[in-house]
């Protein structure tokens, strides 16, 4: 049974994040997903010199089947990430299912 809603999808997943989180987690996550042969829209892989940032992000949001959102204090402080978050949530309103899960990726050694 084919799903026509996925015909125009270029990427399996869109990675939404704040640039401050790249070094700590996002770049490593993107590399792992790529090694698993998951087609991802990630700015460092998808943007090219001369691309319009907003057009490219909009295309990535539209042509991705799923989204991964890296929520951090930096993510929550930015307007652009809020736009990406709301765009991914709007997919749910158009017949897509959104599953929210969290992972504690950082543990504190302070007592």
Catalytically active residues are 84
Distance CA 61, CA 23 (A): 22
Distance CA 86, CA 36 (A): 27
For 16-50, letters b (16+ CB in 10 Å) and e give bbbeebbeeebeebbeebeeeeeebbbbeebeeee
């Amino acid at each position: 049974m084919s799903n026509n809603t996925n015909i125009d999808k270029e990427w399996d997943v869109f990675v939404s994040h704040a640039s401050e989180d790249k070094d700590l987690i996002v770049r490593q996550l993107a590399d792992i997903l790529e090694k698993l042969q998951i087609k991802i829209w990630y700015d460092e892989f998808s943007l090219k010199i001369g691309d319009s940032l907003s057009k490219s992000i909009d295309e990535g949001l539209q042509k991705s089947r799923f989204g991964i959102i890296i929520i951090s204090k930096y993510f929550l402080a930015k307007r652009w990430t809020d736009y990406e978050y709301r765009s991914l949530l709007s997919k749910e309103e158009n017949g897509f299912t959104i599953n929210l899960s969290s992972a504690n990726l950082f543990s504190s050694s302070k007592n």
